[in-house]
Structure 1
Amino acid sequence: MSKRHEVENLALIKHQLEVEELLAKQQQDNLNCIYRKLEAVDTVILSGWVNRLSYIYNVSLDGVF
């Protein structure tokens, strides 16, 4: 009986580990995506494109940056 419980517990722990690994991978993918977006925003700001875009779309950025 205790051997059966041990096997069931090990199976549950293995399943839990698989779920946690999948969640960790999804979270890392999301983090990488957000980081790439922030890098793109930084590039736009630092390259001066933000000023050109504000002119094109007639948006005032005074006091924002």
Structure 2
Amino acid sequence: HHFTSNKFKTNPPDLLGFYKWCVSRDVGDENEQTIRRALTVSKLVAEGHDIEKSIKIAWDNHPLITR
């Protein structure tokens, strides 16, 4: 969802640019959790698990970070 910000609508950066943008806004930890959830879901689905259960497991293992 960060890619939908006005800054990225016309000229998406590379991954390093996105990383720097996240760090400058202090949202790096949240994005790490998002990546961990995505990788967990991908791994579980690739192993034959149901998508809905995979998503639940990913959220259980990698919850939102609270400040």
TM-score (norm 2): 0.36
Where relative contact order (Cα < 8 A, 6+ residues apart) is larger, the structure is 2
TM-score (norm 1): 0.37
Pick the structure with greater CA Rg. Answer: 1
